[in-house]
Amino acid sequence: MGNPFDLSGKVAVVTGANTGIGQAIALALAEAGADIACVGRTPAEDTVAQARALGRRAEIVSADLSTIQPVQRVVDETLEKLGGLDILVNNAGIIRRADAVDFTEEDWDAVVDTNLKSVFFLAQAAGRHMIAQGGGKIINIASMLTFQGGIRVPSYTASKAGIGGLTKLLANEWAKHGVQVNAIAPGYIATNNTAALQADTARNNAILDRIPAARWGDPADLGGAAVFLASRASDYVQGHILAVDGGWLAR
C-alpha cells in the first residue's frame, strides 16, 4: 500500500496561499508530494518559490474571491497549468470587527461573500470535476467560531458556523462519489487576521490563559492535519471538523 500520507502525483488548489495559514498548508502539501495552484488576489510568489524549491510544480492563479465570478476559471486554469485537480483547500477569508449594534451591511456582505458564498461555489466547481474523475479531497478552513459565538465579529461568526454546516452537507452528498469533504478549525493562530487580538494585552492574556498548550499556534501547526485530510489516510473520514487549537475547546 505504501505511505498513506504520500501526495505524489496529486494537484492541490489552495486559496489565500500567499501568507499565514494558506501558505503553511500549501507548503505542507508540497512537502508531502503535491503540486500546488496558489489562488488569491495577492500573487503568492514566495509560496510558489518555496514549493518549487521542494521539487514540486507550483503556479499562481490570480483570483479575487470576494465574488464568485472567478471560481470556474480557477478550476479551468489549474487543469490547464497543472493537468489535474485532486485537492481543494478553501482557506481564503477576511474578517471585520465592530459591535453587533453598529455592524454594517457592507461589512456583513463582504465577509459572508468571501468566507461562505465563494467557498461553496468553488467547492461546487471543483466537486463537479472530482465527481467526474471518481474522487477528490476538499478541506474547508473553519474556526473556533464554528463552535462558539465570539464577540464583535458577527459576519465572521456566521460565515464560519456556515462552513461547519456546509462541510457536512457536501460530505453527505458526495461521499458516494469518492469525494471526502472535511474541515480544519484552527485555534488562535498568530496571523495577520489575529493581529488585533495579539496587540490587545487584556484579550491576549485571556486567550493564553485558556489554551492548555500555553501559546498561540503557528500556521505550520496546521500542516499535518491538512496532509492527513488531503491523503488517502483519511478516505473514511467524512464531514469532520478537526480542531487544531492547542486544547482550547477542551478547557
Helices (H) and strands (E) in the chain, counts: 9, 7
CATH 3.40.50.720, applies to 11-243: yes
**What amino acid is encoded at 91 in this protein?**
N
Question: So what's the pLDDT on residue 31?
Answer: 98
The residues, any chain, with a CB within 8 Å of residue 100's CB and separated by 6 or more, are: 152, 154
Q: Cα–chain-centroid distance for residue 138? A: 9
pLDDT in tens, 51-98: 999 999 999 999 999 999 999 999 999 999 999 999 999 999 999 999
Q: Which of the 8 DSSP states describes residue 216?
A: P
Question: So what's the pLDDT on residue 194?
Answer: 87
Catalytic one among 120, 156, 188, 228? 156
Residue 236 bears catalytic tag: no
| β-strands 136-141, 241-244 pairing | unpaired
Q: Which of the 8 DSSP states describes residue 189?
A: B
Global pTM reads 0.97
Domain locations along the chain: 11-243
Question: So what's the pLDDT on residue 195?
Answer: 87
pLDDT in tens, 174-196: 999 999 999 999 999 999 878 88
What order of strands is seen across the sheet that includes strand 58-62?
58-62, 35-40, 11-15, 87-90, 136-141, 179-186, 241-244
- In the predicted model, residues of the chain with pLDDT beneath 50 are none
